């Protein structure tokens, strides 16, 4: 029987349900959501598939072990007892990162050092070739996480965070992360045959994510992953999931996606990013101020991440943009509007109360995702 792993997919707080839904749609109905992550059982090929396809997840990790650790001795012995030789080849490079939360062990550097030493002793005791330890081979990022005196050791299969799609050249002053941008789109009622617009598009992240979702392009198709070089996850699995992704992509899907921004420099960057992603023919970018925008179709979806007063230090501009968005919504209430902002006064400037609000985090900034569902025409 093929080896099964406990797979931990980490995500931003507030996106657990979105990530879990993504994972279920990929064929893993038993996935369980926890704070900041989704946990499931899977094979080596599943690890490759999840890395390639997940849009709202930050990293895909393998659980090596979990145990109580209230002292450095507990941490050392618990780490040494784990079967590291089943994961790490003799020339593995294994940097250790860590964090400690509400635990008796609170020194992260000490925990990192102890974990490293324990793994070295375990490997040296099990295989003679491990005694060289030149760490010249593939990288196996290890994390020690001690929370409420429970130590959890994981291997990071992703390497660079999964928000890195492999194509963004430039960004604006306060960009939205790709994983969050994808979640903003997935939380709407948008379908690929509907118009989609971001009237404050900046470097185009939201529109790029919408285009990839609309064409069913795997977000990790153009990048590499740490575990591609691991013996425990065969190269054939990575080749297979990429071939499957290529077959599933709908490159001929017609889309009506547009982005606009008052800053011509941002439009230039958005166009460059779309070209780098191979989506330049699928998104229409134009320099335009919000007050000049007219929604020409009866139905559609608007998603945007306007400047926050606290973020860019200009509350007056944030207020004016909220008012302009509200005016646009009143002109075309059969469109659905979705706006993410940390400005608690947003609804008072926009006008109508949101149909629904959802708390999300844009980096360290707590925000609300205001959702205005389209009004049905009589």
Q: So what's the pLDDT on residue 60?
A: 99
Q: Are 79 and 209 found together in one domain?
A: no
What pLDDT does residue 182 have?
A: 99
pLDDT averaged over 10-residue windows placed end to end, the chain, 378 residues: 92 97 97 97 98 99 98 97 94 95 94 96 78 82 97 98 85 84 98 98 96 98 96 96 98 98 95 95 97 92 86 74 95 95 94 96 94 79
Task: State residue 310's pLDDT score.
Answer: 58
Asked whether residue 350 falls in the same domain as residue 207, the answer is yes
pTM above 0.85, yes or no: yes
Q: Are residues 137 and 194 in the same domain?
A: no
Residue 332 shares a structural domain with residue 204: yes
Q: Which residue has the tokens 């989506």?
A: 279
Domain-ending residue, one of 124, 156, 188: 156
Residue 1: per-residue pLDDT: 67
Determine the distance from the C-alpha atom of residue 175 to the mean position of all C-alpha atoms in its chain, rounded to a whole number: 14
Examine the domain organization and report whether 216 and 151 are in the same domain: no
In-domain check, residue 368: yes
Containing domain of residue 289, as a range?
178-222+258-372
Let me know: does 270 contact 264? Beta carbons within 8 Å.
Answer: no
Do 134 and 97 share a domain, yes or no? yes
pLDDT given at position 296: 87
Whose CA is closest to 329, among 374, 377, 360?
374
Q: Write the CATH number for 145.
A: 3.30.2130.30
CB 283 within 8 A of CB 197: no
Q: Is residue 377 part of a domain?
A: no
User: Measured between alpha carbons, how far is residue 370 from residues 16, 288, 329, 340 in Å?
Assistant: 18, 23, 13, 6
* pLDDT (0 to 100) of residue 149: 96
CATH number, domain with residue 317: 3.40.50.150
Q: Please indicate, yes or no, if residue 361 is contained in any of the structural domains.
A: yes
Query: Are 110 and 190 part of one and the same domain?
Result: no
Tell whether 195 and 288 lie within a shared domain.
yes
User: Residue 131: beta bridge partners?
Assistant: none
CB atoms within 10 A of CB 107: 12
Regarding whether 197 and 339 lie in a shared domain, the answer is yes
* 132 assigned to some structural domain: yes
For 60, residues 6+ apart whose C-beta sits below 8 A from its C-beta are 7, 8, 9, 47, 50, 51, 54, 156, 157, 158, 162
133/204 same-domain check: no
Count of structural domains, the chain: 2
């Amino acid at each position: 029987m093929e080896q099964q792993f406990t797979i931990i997919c980490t995500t931003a707080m507030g996106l657990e349900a979105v990530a879990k839904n993504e994972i279920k749609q990929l064929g893993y109905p038993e996935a369980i959501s926890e704070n900041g992550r989704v946990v499931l059982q899977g094979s080596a090929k599943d690890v490759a598939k999840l890395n390639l396809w997940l849009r709202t997840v930050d990293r895909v990790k393998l659980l090596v072990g979990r145990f109580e650790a209230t002292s450095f001795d507990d941490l050392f012995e618990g780490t040494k007892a784990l079967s590291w030789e089943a994961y790490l080849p003799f020339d593995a490079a294994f940097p250790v990162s860590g964090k400690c939360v509400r635990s008796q062990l609170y020194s992260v550097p000490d925990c990192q050092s102890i974990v490293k030493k324990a793994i070295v002793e375990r490997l040296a005791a099990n295989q003679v070739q491990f005694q060289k330890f030149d760490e010249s081979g593939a990288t196996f990022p290890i994390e020690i996480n001690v929370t409420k005196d429970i130590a959890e050791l994981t291997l990071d299969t992703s390497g660079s965070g999964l928000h890195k799609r492999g194509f963004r050249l430039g960004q604006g002053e306060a960009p939205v992360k790709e994983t969050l941008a994808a979640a903003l789109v997935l939380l709407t009622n948008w379908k690929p045959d509907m118009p989609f617009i971001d009237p404050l598009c900046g470097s185009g992240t939201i529109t790029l994510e919408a285009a990839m979702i609309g064409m069913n392009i795997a977000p990790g198709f153009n990048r590499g992953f740490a575990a591609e070089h691991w013996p425990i996850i065969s190269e054939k699995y990575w080749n297979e999931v990429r071939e499957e992704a290529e077959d599933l992509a709908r490159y001929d899907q017609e889309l009506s996606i547009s982005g606009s921004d008052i800053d011509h420099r941002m439009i230039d960057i958005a166009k460059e990013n779309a070209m780098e992603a191979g989506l330049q023919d699928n998104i229409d970018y134009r320099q335009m101020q919000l007050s000049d925008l007219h929604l020409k179709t009866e139905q559609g979806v608007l998603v945007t991440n306007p400047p926050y007063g606290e973020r860019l230090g200009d509350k007056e501009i944030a207020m004016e943009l909220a008012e302009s968005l509200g005016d646009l919504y009143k002109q075309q209430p059969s469109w659905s509007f979705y706006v993410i902002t940390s400005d608690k006064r947003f609804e008072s400037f926009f006008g109508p109360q949101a149909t629904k609000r959802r708390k999300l985090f844009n980096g360290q900034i707590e925000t609300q995702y205001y959702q205005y569902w389209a009004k049905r025409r009589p």
